[in-house]
Amino acid sequence: MCSNLGFTQSCGTFEYENYLKTKFPGYTNALEQTRQNSLEAIGKLNKADNDTVYRIPVVFHIVWKSASQNIPDSLIFSQMTVLNECFRHIHKDTGKVRAIFKPVVGDARMEFYLATKDPKGKPTNGIDRFKSTVNDFGDSRGLGEAVKSSFDGGVDAWNSDNYLNIWVCNFTYSGTSLITAYAYPPTNSQFWNAGSFVSSDLQGVVINYNFVGKNSPYPQDAQSLRERTLVHEVGHFLGLRHIWADKNRICTGEDDGLKDTPLCNAANRVCGVNRNSCNEGITDKPDMTENYMDYAAFPCTVMFTKQQTQLMRYNLIYLRPSLYSIKNDLPPPPVYSKISVSPNPTIGSIRIIFDKQGDYKIHLTDIIGQSVDDEYFTVGYNLEHKGRINVAAGIYYITITDSNNVVTKQRILVQ
């Protein structure tokens, strides 16, 4: 979501980039060269790069003055679920992708989790709360950049090489929310001049507090992306552009550089309309209004393309190399071939087949590692256990232990 200032709430990344161009010498050329280099390189990703699942630690800095700005943990937890479902393309409304675009749907194979240790190595839940003396961090550009500075009443970034920093605050211009959120694009390529450009304290996403989480009780513009606002902004943080490349009603000139996002000449804010703003000839397709990097209002946006996910993965691996861990680096738990959990996906019921009798425990966690439920039971001669998972739809991990030894662990999708 980036903005038509004064008309509707939008993403401010395009405006933010224009601001950075005035602040840092050489920013414009470096940004464009970085983008071009990444676009040319994504075809060189090897199979391991493409198949590996990358895990990214997140810290939410909740910077508040009034009680309403101090949003509850539950909204943050639900926001993390949304991030993971969208980046893995496993949300319930994946079926809304039109048939013409289903062949190019991408799974980014990135998973986000709330940080478990702060920069000093102390335990944390990944939610950093700070009561500020500032009620509104907005400025004349509609941005809230001061929230990133403790000197200005905000919170300094946790080491942005190691954390995805998300600042949550109130930022308006004269009481009006012109911008819902904005993000810092990847910068650490060979083209950046460290002598003239220092950005580590600015890297991350800034988002208005009323656009965090599912079913937020706070006021939201009817044309906003709601809980998918942050999905859009993390796309920017990982190097994606708007699919119309911030052009104004023209089909020529700059584009997002990706062939599987059709040309369009402006942002789309209406869902379910077969708008086709640019004719590309024999391969022409309608505007991809269901793309997260467009502006069609919630719940319209439901997909990244394959090339978008490749570009984000390349930028994560090579431009933000300290930010992630490789999920496959974790030692795999023992798996007994005769222990199976089915069906998967499930609508709640599960059936587990064991290879021996005994006392067992099921430990269920959600995708961000929070404990959801524990169940203890005894397996008899039929070597079978039936039960239900009474949780909301989403991704979960089932760990089964026998006398405190893990005997199997697997991911399960609850629909």
- pLDDT in the model for residue 349: 87
SS3 state of residue 389:
coil
More confident call, 332 vs 234: 234
Lowest mean pLDDT, pick from 83-87, 107-111, 232-236, 344-348: 344-348
**Average pLDDT estimate for 25-32:** 73
Domains 10-328 and 332-414 share a fold: no
Residue 162 pLDDT greater than 50, yes or no: yes
Give the separation between CA 407 and CA 314, rounded to whole angstroms.
35
Structure tokens at 265: 């000449």
Q: What is the mean pLDDT of the chain?
A: 83
For the ranges 16-25, 223-232, 252-261, 374-383, the maximum mean pLDDT occurs at 223-232
The verdict on domain 10-328 having CATH code 3.40.390.10 is yes
Query: For residue range 42-51, what is the model confidence (pLDDT) as tens digits?
Result: 766 665 556 7
Is residue 110 within 8 A of residue 54, CB to CB? The reply is yes
More confident call, 378 vs 162: 162
Annotated domain spans of the chain: 10-328, 332-414
Structure tokens at 106: 């991408």
Instruction: Name the percent of the chain lying above pLDDT 90.
Output: 39
Give the separation between CA 178 and CA 172, rounded to whole angstroms.
6
Query: For residue range 122-134, what is the model confidence (pLDDT) as tens digits?
Result: 999 999 999 999 9
Q: Nearest 5°: phi and psi at 130? A: -140, 120
Instruction: Name the percent of the chain lying above pLDDT 70.
Output: 87
Sequence letter at residue 348: G
- pLDDT in the model for residue 2: 40
Q: Nearest 5°: phi and psi at 78? A: -65, -30
How sure is the predictor about 380, in pLDDT bands with cuts at 50, 70 and 90? confident
- pLDDT in the model for residue 328: 57
More confident call, 69 vs 173: 69
Other CB atoms within 10 A of residue 150 CB: 10
Structure tokens at 395: 């991704």
Lowest mean pLDDT, pick from 108-117, 149-158, 319-328: 319-328
**Average pLDDT estimate for 82-105:** 93
Lowest mean pLDDT, pick from 106-115, 163-172, 315-324, 355-364: 355-364
Residue 336 pLDDT greater than 60, yes or no: no
How sure is the predictor about 6, in pLDDT bands with cuts at 50, 70 and 90? very low
Structure tokens at 118: 């702060």
Is residue 178 within 8 A of residue 6, CB to CB? The reply is yes
Query: For residue range 229-253, what is the model confidence (pLDDT) as tens digits?
Result: 999 999 999 989 899 887 777 887 7
How sure is the predictor about 193, in pLDDT bands with cuts at 50, 70 and 90? very low
- pLDDT in the model for residue 371: 80
**Average pLDDT estimate for 297-304:** 92
How sure is the predictor about 194, in pLDDT bands with cuts at 50, 70 and 90? very low
**Average pLDDT estimate for 73-83:** 93
3-state helix, strand, coil in the chain (%, to 5): 25, 25, 50
Tokens 């019921």 belong to 349
Strands across the sheet with 384-388, in order?
340-342, 349-353, 384-388
Give the separation between CA 304 and CA 197, rounded to whole angstroms.
31
* 332-414: CATH number: 2.60.40.1930
Residue 331 pLDDT greater than 60, yes or no: no
Find residue 129's DSSP bridge partners.
62
